[in-house]
Amino acid sequence: MLEDQSGSTSQESIEQPAQPDPQVVDQDIDIDSQEKVYSQKMRKRAQTAESELEKLRARNKKMEEDSLIEQNKYKELWEQDKAEAKWARDYKLSKKASLLEKIPEDKRENFKSWDLDQLETYVQDTADISESKGETMKPVPGQVSITVPDKPYGEMTDAERRAYYTQAAQEKGLNP
């Protein structure tokens, strides 16, 4: 075998794995921690800027309202508040209507007097319960469904047989 100038054979030098330089590993860890610290600083800076922006908007709105009051323009101020209140009222009504649609039709009348928070909680709880039981809500009137006749197989037409097997496959979780 050949010997290197250091006195070891060439095969011995091949078998020794290369060790990573500890300074390079430390630099990688240091760079990662620096990036983490930098991203934390940037996130805090963005949150601070957003909170200051909200404060400025609130102060600007307050100054605008004060100037309208000083100019005795109560009607304009009232119109602005009325528009905001109308939007909120419309949103609440549409949200309540969509929640009431999730309740079976025969029980809806009982829940119309409930406020929005109570109704949301009830609908969410009933949805959680029905999901845990594996049940689904009752079909909605006007919903298209496949009707399967209650006939013996021999009396069914070809279309009825297809509908029967399609529904059976869907119930078992198979997609025809």
- Note down pLDDT in tens along the chain; length 176 residues: 455 555 545 555 455 555 555 555 566 678 888 888 999 999 999 999 999 999 999 999 888 878 877 777 766 767 777 777 777 788 888 888 888 888 888 888 888 888 888 888 888 888 777 665 655 566 667 666 656 667 787 888 888 888 888 877 877 766 54
Q: Which two tokens stand for residue 99?
A: 């929640």
- The secondary structure of residue 141, as a DSSP letter, is T
Q: What is the largest CA-CA distance in the chain?
A: 105
Using CA atoms of 93, 96, 102, 103 in order, give the dihedral in degrees to the nearest 10: -120
Q: Which two tokens stand for residue 110?
A: 């009982």
Evaluate the CA torsion angle 28, 32, 38, 39 in order and state its sign: positive
Quote the pTM value.
0.32
> How far is the C-alpha of 93 from the C-alpha of 159, rounded, in Å?
45
